[in-house]
A and B are shown apart, each in its own frame.
Chain A
Amino acid sequence: MRQMPVELPCPIPYVLAMDHSNYPNDYIRGILNSVKTIALVGASANSARPSWIVTKYLLERGYDVIPVNPGLAGGELLGKTVYGSLAEVPGPIDMVEIFRNSEAAGPITDEALALAPLPKVIWMQLSVRNEEAAAKAEAKGIKVVMDRCPKIEFGRLSGEISWQGVNSRMLSSKKPVLSGKGFQKLGLNRP
């Protein structure tokens, strides 16, 4: 019997396998330079919590941070309306920042993958890792960052974190770039 031609599946977007234990600086910088709207899942109203601090820091750096937390839905956080889930956020989301534990990152990633349009980036906070969720997102062409803090990464790439004696692992013979008014904010794009 003649073999039927095999139908090939649709080509999936080709994504270079990312080494999630060692992100190149340019990869992180590229993400922080390209995203504008960040949905922060696990936002907190407690100003001592890291998620509150990161929300405030990113808002001050010009990102449109949208807090997501079912317990605070409908309220305001740092002047921004809080939504109960990613699906409820009006308008497209560039980056989903997951401020929950590694297990919860699975279903949150699923929610993110159900959005239309899809987010460009899924970022899991420092200590949050979910390889399965990352693989699913990457298969759809979404960039993934795990176990990193966007505030620390911004501070590291800009040079701000050096003021705290933190090892930025960055060397440059070029001046840091002042950003905004005053002297205590630095920009991401130091040569």
Chain B
Amino acid sequence: MSDRLPGFNTLAIHAGAAPDAATGARATPIYQTTSFVFDDVDHAASLFGLQAFGNIYSRIGNPTCSVLEERVAALEGGTAALAVASGHAAEFLTFHTLLQPGDEFIAARKLYGGSINQFNHAYKNFGWNVVWADSDDPSSFEAAITPRTKAIFVESIANPGGVIVDLQAIAAIAKKHRIPFIVDNTMASPYLIRPFEHGADIIVHSATKFLGGHGNSVGGLIVDGGSFNFAGDDRYPMLSKPRPEYGGMVLGETFGNFGFAIACRVLGLRDLGPALSPFNAFLILNGIETLPLRMQRHSDNALAVAEHLANHSKVSWVSYPGLRSDRYHNLAKQYCPKGAGAVFTFGLKDGYEAGVKLVSNLKLFSHLANIGDTRSLVIHPASTTHRQLTDEQKTQAGAGPEVVRLSIGLEDTDDLIEDLNQALDAA
């Protein structure tokens, strides 16, 4: 193949995946093995010393997982990636590589609830302190920066849907203060938004959602943009200091513009252990082959359903940036002109009880706590995921009593609309 950069559809199918060297198998084999034989003793020593490329043990790397890694790195336009057990593990290893105890990072307040919990509670045990900022007001990130700020974290399209973040504005602040800018690109997928093109340095994914896309496998990815120079930067000792684990090697220097991904693997994944199963990697890879087709259909379907709901007598509001009247519509046109994704929220005029009834009346939509499935999904956050919060907290989190969240699947929109109509009529 020539050196011309292949298109997105081609990369979604081919990047990282050549026929198997030993058997010629064309689909990526599931290398369901814990370990790999060394060619000889010297080869083993080279692998353990990070002096040769190769496979040792599936906690550190696995050939099925590495196809997924290269695939996602290529789709995002990054230098390298690391596949891990979940989106949470991707966040965990990313922060583990960047932060020391007592350090801070700034995160957008509008995030997936699981990330809010992880940052507020689990990370406190490591001495990693989250400082919250408002993604609708980029200057709030700059105001929160201190000498201990080691990272800035946002979602490109923010959960529970309907929020588009001005990545370029926040990236400019991060660059000015020399702070790595991390973007969770789960909701958009690289088909809709490619955050490296807008100034991100690191991308994380829950591959569980649109990358895998079929609701069958939990997984996560860390993608290195290669844009942040960690070498010689004392604030990031995992990358800039000699590592005693590897005979004094300086990872950020030895591995250049993919040093961050390598550090996440050889310090984070190796020592903390949230490895992805090769079987899950295989299923996620299969999903990615149709990512461009699915993501377009998800977005087109979501727009059709959102437009219908916006005109429904029992619906008080719909928050979907694909709608012309939406406050984020201009940002959506700038960042994701092909579509605004599958997930959005709407409000019911009759409040909490109507939400509970709607969810139980739906016949095609599945009531569950996930997004990014081929199937359409629904959740009433106030009675489920956000149940423990006070009414005020629920409203702040975008999960007021009247709020329903949908993740629109790939079915016929006529059927989705009919299901919503009958459930709303009965609610």
Q: Using a CB–CB distance below 8 Å, which chain A residues touch chain B?
A: 24-25, 46-48, 50, 53, 56-57, 60, 126-127, 149, 152, 155, 159-178, 180-186, 190
B246 at the interface (CB under 8 A from A): yes
**Other contacts beyond A171-B11, A184-B36: 20, CB < 8 A:** A46-B248, A48-B242, A53-B50, A57-B51, A155-B53, A161-B53, A162-B70, A163-B61, A164-B53, A164-B265, A166-B261, A167-B73, A171-B6, A174-B18, A175-B20, A182-B38, A182-B40, A183-B21, A183-B36, A184-B52
List chain B residues, Cβ under 8 A from A47.
49, 51, 247
Q: Tell me, rounded to whole Å, the shortest Cβ–Cβ distance linking B135 to chain A.
A: 28
Q: Tell me, rounded to whole Å, the shortest Cβ–Cβ distance linking A174 to chain B.
A: 7
B145 at the interface (CB under 8 A from A): no
B63 at the interface (CB under 8 A from A): yes
Given contacts A165-B83, A175-B18, contact A182 B39 (CB under 8 A): yes
Check A166 against B80 for contact (C-beta < 8 Å). Answer: yes
Check A167 against B74 for contact (C-beta < 8 Å). Answer: yes
Chain B, interface size category, equals 35 or more
Q: Using a CB–CB distance below 8 Å, which chain B residues touch chain A?
A: 1, 3, 5-6, 10-11, 14-16, 18-22, 24, 36-40, 43, 46-47, 49-55, 61, 63, 65-67, 69-70, 73-74, 78-83, 242, 246-250, 253-254, 256, 258, 261-262, 265
List chain B residues, Cβ under 8 A from A174.
18-19
Which of A149, A160, A167, A172 has the most chain B CB within a 10 Å cutoff? A167
Q: Could you show 9 A-B contacts with beta carbons less than 8 Å apart? A: A60-B46, A165-B73, A166-B73, A168-B70, A170-B1, A175-B21, A183-B36, A184-B39, A184-B53
What does DSSP make chain A's interface, helix, strand, loop or mixed? loop
Given contacts A48-B248, A163-B54, A185-B39, contact A171 B19 (CB under 8 A): no
Check A166 against B79 for contact (C-beta < 8 Å). Answer: yes
Residue of A nearest to B242 (CB): A48
Could you tell me the distance between the alpha carbons of A172 and B20 in the complex, rounded to whole angstroms?
Answer: 11
Could you tell me the distance between the alpha carbons of A103 and B65 in the complex, rounded to whole angstroms?
Answer: 41
Q: Tell me, rounded to whole Å, the shortest Cβ–Cβ distance linking B392 to chain A.
A: 44
